[in-house]
Structure 1
Amino acid sequence: MPSYDLSRARFRLSDEHLLVLVQMATGEPVPEALFAEREELRECGLIDGKGLLAHVLVPLLDTLIDPAVVISLEAAGRQGELHHGMLIGQEHVISHRAWPGEREAEYSCVEPKMLVWALSDMVNLKQSGSTPQPGRVIETRVWTVEAGVRALEGVSLAEVEGSERAYIGKALAMDGTLGGAEAALLADLIAELRSSWRMTAAWRGRQAGQDGVEGRGFAVWDCGPLGYWHRESPAEPVAADQVSPDTTMRLVQVGPKRVWDLIAELLPEEGELRRG
């Protein structure tokens, strides 16, 4: 069910609820398939008895309908995939955060000056933790990494014979190209992996003198006590059809400050945005 917190101007809404609100805000009819979601919005008070939208929705809908920059965050972990993000409009910034197993995501306003901080909080960036070791790199194939990650899918820890790392190591050994020390480190990273996430930003710009969409992105492994690992290859933004099992994957350990800088560098400069 949709809901809202008036004291903090935040909302819990599903994709279907958003579609209803956008249709109504732009004067378009609501499809019959979304009548149930429209009634839920009415029951929670975001649509009144006359079919008018609550005024508190104005910043959200203005930004949703005409964003200048769209930031997407795709995070994968043992609880599945979650999609978060941020919409930067002409006057407002709106963040949205998903929750494991829940249909609705939380939408809320972000103070523009706090944008980088809000994005770093969205990926749970921590200043404390292990100290990165310069030059610590793992380079292997996408197939090898996927085999190690899949090794624990659908298997409870009670079913694992020996340590979790040994179980992952058996999957990695099937590749035969990793050295012993490198395979052991990769097994450690996968065992400690809290989430692998990629953050991308897109905006209206110009490509080769023509109007188009510009963007950039980067990807990180958050390995808890083993720190942050920047996935340099395949480099973001990358489409699924651009990656094959034999594509090189290169992970480089970085500190929290570097992750913060990557987030800040993701945002476009004023001169990169195409107005109108």
Structure 2
Amino acid sequence: MPSFDVTRSRFRLSDDDVFVLAQLATGQPVPAAMEPAAARLRDAGLADGAGQLSALLLPLMRTVVQPSVIVSLEAGGRQGVLHHGLLIGDDHVVCHETWPGQEEAEYRLVEPRTVVWTLADLIALRQSDGDATEEVVETTVGVLEAGLAALEKASSTPGADERALVAEALRAAGGDGVAARLAELVVELRSQWRMTAAWQGRQDGAQGVVARAVAAWDCGPLGYWLRELPAEPLAEGGAQAGAPFRLRRVAAKRVWQELTALLPDATELTTA
């Protein structure tokens, strides 16, 4: 059931709810298949029988239907993959966050001046205790996938030694040289995330969608690791098993800089 918190301008909405609201906001008809969602929105007081949106929703929906910049975050961990993001408009910024196992996401307005802070919060970025000693771990996508598969199996086996089983799988897949260190990272992996910013602009002299992306691992006590290979954006279908995979340990400050660099500057938006 959709709901809202007027004190913080936040709303809990499913994908169907957002679709119906976007149709109403742009004057488009609501398909018959979406009538249950439309009824829920009316019951929640977010729309009326004539299809008019609640005034509480107007700043949010203006941004949702016509954003200048779309930032999407795909974060994977032991609870599965979650999708969060930001929609940046001319006057407002909307943050949306999902929750494991829940159909609805939270949509809220955030202060435009805090966009980078909000992105950092979405990935749970924390200040490092000190400068991270640079370290590089290299293998192949196939070796990594073998380790991740072993972790998934070990996680569902009571009493299993996750680190030993992951290291064994990495060695069996041909990653003997990095098995010990990569097994530590895989076991401590809190999330592996990919963040992409996209907007209308010019690229190579042609008008179209411009995008920048960054990917990283959050390994908890073992720090932050930028995923340098496979490079973003990934080709459709993902990387092949034999493709190189490389992680580089970095300080939290470097991750912050990468988040800042994702966003277009005023000149890029002006030419869009």
Q: TM-score range by the shorter chain?
A: over 0.9
Name the residue aligned to 1:10: 10
* Counterpart Cα distance in 1 of 2:132 and 2:75: 22
Contact in 2 for aligned 1:221/1:229 (Cα 8 Å): yes
Q: Please report how far the alpha carbon of residue 128 of structure 1 lies from its aligned counterpart in structure 2 after TM superposition.
A: 3.9
> Is 1:221 the counterpart of 2:220 in the alignment?
no
Deviation per residue, 1:101-134 (Å, 9 max, x gap) = 0001100011111110010011000004575212
Worse overlay, 231-240 or 248-257: 231-240
Name the residue aligned to 2:241: 245
Provide the secondary structure at the position in 2 that maps to 1:74: strand
Name the residue aligned to 1:98: 98
TM value normalised by structure 2: 0.95
Contact in 2 for aligned 1:131/1:227 (Cα 8 Å): no
> Is 1:230 the counterpart of 2:226 in the alignment?
yes
Q: 1:40 to 1:76 in 2, by over 3 A?
A: same
Alignment of 1:21-40 (within 5 A): 21-40=21-40
Deviation per residue, 1:229-257 (Å, 9 max, x gap) = 00011111223435111110100000100
Name the residue aligned to 2:144: 145
* Counterpart Cα distance in 2 of 1:146 and 1:78: 14
Unaligned runs of 5+ in 1: none
Worse overlay, 125-134 or 219-228: 125-134
Contact in 1 for aligned 2:9/2:56 (Cα 8 Å): yes
Unaligned runs of 5+ in 2: none
Q: 1:188 to 1:100 in 2, by over 3 A?
A: same
- The letter for the 2-side match of 1:260 is W
* Counterpart Cα distance in 1 of 2:69 and 2:252: 24
Q: 1:274 to 1:242 in 2, by over 3 A?
A: farther
TM value normalised by structure 1: 0.94
Provide the secondary structure at the position in 2 that maps to 1:59: helix
Name the residue aligned to 2:121: 121
Alignment of 1:1-276 (within 5 A): 1-129=1-129, 132-134=132-134, 136-156=135-155, 158-161=157-160, 163-179=161-177, 182-241=178-237, 243-274=239-270
Q: Please report how far the alpha carbon of residue 13 of structure 1 lies from its aligned counterpart in structure 2 after TM superposition.
A: 0.5
Deviation per residue, 1:72-94 (Å, 9 max, x gap) = 00000010000000000111110
- After the TM superposition, list the runs of 4 or more consecutive aligned residues in structure 1 that deviate by more than 6 angstroms: none
* Counterpart Cα distance in 1 of 2:18 and 2:235: 26
Q: Please report how far the alpha carbon of residue 273 of structure 1 lies from its aligned counterpart in structure 2 after TM superposition.
A: 1.8
Q: Please report how far the alpha carbon of residue 154 of structure 1 lies from its aligned counterpart in structure 2 after TM superposition.
A: 4.6
Provide the secondary structure at the position in 2 that maps to 1:118: helix
* Counterpart Cα distance in 2 of 1:49 and 1:176: 63
Q: How many residues align?
A: 272
- The letter for the 2-side match of 1:169 is A
* Counterpart Cα distance in 2 of 1:116 and 1:4: 25
Provide the secondary structure at the position in 1 that maps to 2:186: helix
Provide the secondary structure at the position in 2 that maps to 1:127: coil
Contact in 1 for aligned 2:154/2:165 (Cα 8 Å): no
